[in-house]
Amino acid sequence: MMEIPKLLINLKAYKESSGERALEIAKQAEKAWRETGIVIGVVPHIIDLKNVAAQVEVPVYAQHVDPMDAGARTGHIPPVLVKLAGASGSIINHSERQVGLHHISEVISLLRELDLSSVVCAPTPREAAAVSALNPDAVAIEPPELIGTGIPVSKARPDVIVDTLKAVVDVNPDVDLLCGAGITSSEDVRAAIKLGSYGVLVASAVAKSPDPYRKIRELVEPFVEITRA
DSSP state of 11: -
Rounded to an integer, what distance in angstroms lies between the CA atom of residue 11 and that of residue 142?
16
For the chain, first and last CA: distance in Å? 27
Nearer to its own copies, 129 or 193 (CB): 129
151 lies in the binding site for its own copies (CB under 8 A): no
98 lies in the binding site for its own copies (CB under 8 A): yes
96 lies in the binding site for its own copies (CB under 8 A): yes
- Contact with its own copies (CB under 8 A) among 130, 138, 175, 206: 130
Instruction: Compute, in degrees rounded to 10, the torsion defined by CA atoms 52, 53, 58, 59.
Output: 120
Q: How far is the CB of 195 from its own copies (least distance, A)?
A: 20
- Contact with its own copies (CB under 8 A) among 74, 173, 210, 229: 74
162 lies in the binding site for its own copies (CB under 8 A): no
Q: Which residue stretch of 31-39, 63-71, 153-161, 217-225 sits at the interface with its own copies (rule: CB under 8 A)?
A: 63-71
Of 113, 105, 110, the closest CA to residue 132 belongs to 105
Report strand pairing: 117-122 vs 138-141: parallel
Q: How far is the CB of 161 from its own copies (least distance, A)?
A: 17
Which residues, in sequence order, are CB contacts of 216 under 8 Å at separation 6+? 7, 9, 28, 29, 32, 40, 206
Q: Which residue stretch of 12-20, 29-37, 150-158, 217-225 sits at the interface with its own copies (rule: CB under 8 A)?
A: 12-20
167 lies in the binding site for its own copies (CB under 8 A): yes
Q: How far is the CB of 133 from its own copies (least distance, A)?
A: 4
28 lies in the binding site for its own copies (CB under 8 A): no
Rounded to an integer, what distance in angstroms lies between the CA atom of residue 181 and that of residue 92?
16
154 lies in the binding site for its own copies (CB under 8 A): no
227 lies in the binding site for its own copies (CB under 8 A): no
Write b or e for each residue in 133-147: b if 16 or more Cβ atoms lie within 10 A of its Cβ, otherwise e.
ebbbbbbbbbbeebb
147 lies in the binding site for its own copies (CB under 8 A): yes
Q: Are 120 and 102 in contact (CB under 8 A)?
A: no
The burial of 89, by beta-carbon neighbours within 10 Å (0-12 exposed, 13-18 middle, 19 or more buried), is given as: buried
Query: Active-site positions?
Result: 94, 142
Q: Where does this chain bind its own copies (CB under 8 A)?
A: 10, 12-15, 18-19, 45-51, 63-64, 68, 70-78, 80-82, 84-85, 91, 93-102, 104-105, 122-124, 126-127, 129-135, 147-148, 167, 170-171, 203-204
